[in-house]
Structure 1
Amino acid sequence: MKYLEEFSDPVLAGKLVEQIHATVTKPWAMMEVCGGQTHTIVRHGIDQLLPDGVEMIHGPGCPVCVTPLEVIDKALEIAAQPGVIFCSFGDMLRVPGSGRDLFRIKSEGGDVRVVYSPLDALRVAQQNPDKEVVFFGIGFETTAPPNAMTVYQAKKLGIPNFSLLVSHVRVPPAIEAIMQSPSCRVQGFLAAGHVCSVMGTSEYPELAERYGVPIVVTGFEPLDILAGILRTVSQLEKGEHVVENAYQRAVRDEGNPAAKAMLADVFETTDRAWRGIGMIPRSGWRLSERYREYDAEYRFQVRDIVAEESAVCRSGEVLQGLIKPHECSAFGTVCTPRNPLGATMVSSEGACAAYYLYRRLEAPAEAVTTGG
């Protein structure tokens, strides 16, 4: 249980909380980028232990949540085609598209399979040469290297019936987009440690300097989060804005050179739409020209599919940190994990799911009465 029990010690947590209270003299608002960090904060009540006026803003770091509606619809269109085996991680199957989800496709006879690695999907392609096998490749920089490796292997082994539906996004451009928003209240960031374990920290100093915000690379256990908050408020109180690595047991400044080399070979940067947020320039990856034959959007001719977001679901505002989940009138009533309006209620890293699991009683009273 290394790095689990040690980093959940309540005595040490109490000491960190005391240090935070002793440091803070004024209100501050900081954003944890990663959805995994959001769940730790909400589950353990970390934000409720902070001094009055110190606010944690939940960021868009949930890969399932930010996958745009049009990409979900592309996945549904491909998965419904005869002769296709559509492979995905399990948390994507209940993400709603414009009218259905992957579970519905499966119930209607589509061959939709849950896998635990993109390489599992590649093996399915090897075992079913008469079928087209598609893997739904989503996520941030953390999941991109294994997806890139799988495409690399498909090309190297000459497996023609495998393709990747790509919806990869990058964190630094998202931070920039958040800071450029007129409604931005963020004064500091807890950066996602697993992303930085791949990419390193080289992209963050420029952002910290340009926007005058401290960026602290942080892990995911309670003590990680509290230590990251302490470092962030310490910088804010001193008027500093530098990048600090508070997750040195996993993150090096240079990141993972082998993973970065694989990404540079297989992918190229592109503009990417984020669900509920919109288009962010150069915020995503797509397969490079060398690997374009493995791009499911081209292979199945679904590039032109467009979709409109739900007018009822406010997940976009949640992802931008403009509202907390319980401030949405649909939360916990017409929108639940069983019947979600948006991906933030489905994903294991979604902020709405975290509030439903750990703070569902904070739903607005009028929403509770109208929702039965």
Structure 2
Amino acid sequence: MKYVDEYRDPVMAEYLIEEIRRLAEEPISIMEICGGHTHAIFRAGIDQVLEPQIRFLHGPGCPVCVTPIEKIDRAIALARRPKTIIATYGDMLRVPGSESTLMKEKAKGAQVKMVYSSLDAVALAEKHPDFEVVFFAVGFETTIPANGFSILRARELGLRNYSVLCNHVLVPPVIRFLLEDPDVQIDAFIGPGHVGTVVGSEDYRFIAEEFGRPVVISGFEPNDILQSVYMILKQRQEGRRQVEIQYSRAVKPEGNVRARAVLNRIFEPVDQEWRGIGTIPRSGMAIREEFRDYDAEFKFQSALTLSPAQESPACICGEITKGVKEPWQCESFGTACTPDNPIGTCMVSSEGTCAAYYKYQFLKRAAGGMLG
């Protein structure tokens, strides 16, 4: 008998779709926070199957997309320093700054390296003791512990040429920010599964208790997402507003205690700028004073006094990541702004909303005369 992955089982998918249609007595807007969920929804066509009763809003769950332009400009300034290596993830290379990108700086001769983890950057610092190696760290709670561990590892090795340009952001504060914005209408949340593996579910209780919205922390396979939508609708039918875990094979209520310990040892909460959204109180994590020697912004502060950042006036990524507008409403989408020539961050990242729309729906809608 042919093995069928239960998380992609078509029979189970059909059952869940029918149950969702039965329970969805009125339209509901559900925001998925994680960019991985956004792409999974489009890739499987879940948004089309569940329309019009279920409307998915695509939240600010792409760390590349919400990195402020000032941080990109600082990374570029460091890349221009002599005997300096900038190490970062592949998506960050093409993110537009005020006037350049790390990829363009690399083409001009800057030492910009793509790495798969912060420990790769530590290895670069070991290999090149005559260079300053700066790891440009972005990400939510999922990646913060590993990047904190890289600092511990560099200290253990006695490396003085390793530092981190940090842009870590937290999910709960941005959700609170969105729920307090009168322009944003969200009925429920699909919680980020990967973040949940680190922080668990307790950090999201305020969404249900203070704002009365259901939350279901979901996995990334088609049936994970369908089951999460079903669980949200079941809560509404029964008059419950709770935080539930669908992704129980990976997420525990308490999260990963050891990872959280590293996170809290190395980093502390700070007010954080989110690209296109604004400053959100205590929504970022900065390196603690104890580890300041590994903080690139402290270590190279004299080189990071820059002119004010210049965002493209054609970009509406902020409104897209808040769920207020869709990519179709951007005049540059699919014309001046494409994955090969991105104006905004939502088109750059593999988790960006604009990238998902372009990859999975652009050609079909354009062919049908629906674009614009």
Give TM-score scaled by structure 1 length.
Answer: 0.95
Change (3 A) 1:308 1:239: farther
Kept in 2, the 8 Å contact 1:332–1:368? The answer is no
Partner of 1:339: 341
Partner of 2:131: 131
Partner of 2:288: 288
Which amino acid in the other structure matches residue 165 of structure 2? L
**Displacement of 1:182 after TM fit?**
1.1
**Displacement of 1:309 after TM fit?**
2.3
Kept in 2, the 8 Å contact 1:21–1:51? The answer is no
Q: 1:74-153 residue pairs with structure 2 within 5 A?
A: 74-153=74-153
Q: Deviations over 1:44-101 (max 9, x none)?
A: 1101111523211001000110111111111111111111011011111011111110
The separation in 2 between residues aligned to 1:363 and 1:60, in whole angstroms, is: 26
Which amino acid in the other structure matches residue 38 of structure 1? T
The separation in 1 between residues aligned to 2:132 and 2:271, in whole angstroms, is: 27
The separation in 2 between residues aligned to 1:98 and 1:92, in whole angstroms, is: 14
Which amino acid in the other structure matches residue 261 of structure 1? A
- Number of matched pairs: 367
Kept in 2, the 8 Å contact 1:4–1:221? The answer is no
Q: Secondary structure at the match of 2:59?
A: strand
Q: 1:1-372 residue pairs with structure 2 within 5 A?
A: 5-301=5-301, 304-305=305-306, 306-361=308-363, 362=365
Which amino acid in the other structure matches residue 67 of structure 2? T
Kept in 2, the 8 Å contact 1:329–1:364? The answer is no
Q: Secondary structure at the match of 1:93?
A: helix
Q: Deviations over 1:267-302 (max 9, x none)?
A: 011111111111110001010011111111111115
Q: Deviations over 1:196-234 (max 9, x none)?
A: 100111111122110110011111111111111111122
Which amino acid in the other structure matches residue 227 of structure 1? Q
Q: Secondary structure at the match of 1:30?
A: strand
The separation in 2 between residues aligned to 1:368 and 1:131, in whole angstroms, is: 49
**Displacement of 1:155 after TM fit?**
1.5
The separation in 2 between residues aligned to 1:270 and 1:308, in whole angstroms, is: 23
The separation in 1 between residues aligned to 2:207 and 2:35, in whole angstroms, is: 21
**Displacement of 1:237 after TM fit?**
3.0
Kept in 2, the 8 Å contact 1:270–1:281? The answer is yes
Q: Deviations over 1:327-349 (max 9, x none)?
A: 21211000000110111101000
Gaps of 5+ in 1: none
Kept in 1, the 8 Å contact 2:31–2:59? The answer is yes
Which amino acid in the other structure matches residue 73 of structure 1? D
Change (3 A) 1:303 1:178: farther
Q: Secondary structure at the match of 2:112?
A: strand
The separation in 2 between residues aligned to 1:224 and 1:321, in whole angstroms, is: 22
The separation in 2 between residues aligned to 1:319 and 1:36, in whole angstroms, is: 14
Q: Secondary structure at the match of 2:166?
A: strand
Q: Secondary structure at the match of 2:290?
A: helix
Q: Secondary structure at the match of 1:194?
A: helix
Kept in 1, the 8 Å contact 2:170–2:284? The answer is yes
**Displacement of 1:238 after TM fit?**
3.1
Q: Deviations over 1:157-192 (max 9, x none)?
A: 211000000000000001100100011110100000
Over the matched positions of the two proteins, sequence identity in percent amounts to 48
Give TM-score scaled by structure 2 length.
Answer: 0.95
Q: Secondary structure at the match of 1:64?
A: coil
The separation in 2 between residues aligned to 1:331 and 1:365, in whole angstroms, is: 17
**Displacement of 1:5 after TM fit?**
3.9
The separation in 2 between residues aligned to 1:205 and 1:330, in whole angstroms, is: 38
**Displacement of 1:235 after TM fit?**
1.5
Kept in 1, the 8 Å contact 2:314–2:331? The answer is no
**Displacement of 1:311 after TM fit?**
1.1
Kept in 2, the 8 Å contact 1:329–1:367? The answer is no
Which amino acid in the other structure matches residue 80 of structure 2? A
Which amino acid in the other structure matches residue 297 of structure 2? E
The separation in 2 between residues aligned to 1:238 and 1:328, in whole angstroms, is: 39
Q: Deviations over 1:132-161 (max 9, x none)?
A: 000011000001111000011112221100
Change (3 A) 1:150 1:368: same
Which amino acid in the other structure matches residue 352 of structure 2? G
**Displacement of 1:308 after TM fit?**
3.4
Kept in 1, the 8 Å contact 2:77–2:304? The answer is no
**Displacement of 1:15 after TM fit?**
1.1
Q: What CA RMSD, in Å, does the superposition of the two structures yield over aligned residues? A: 1.9
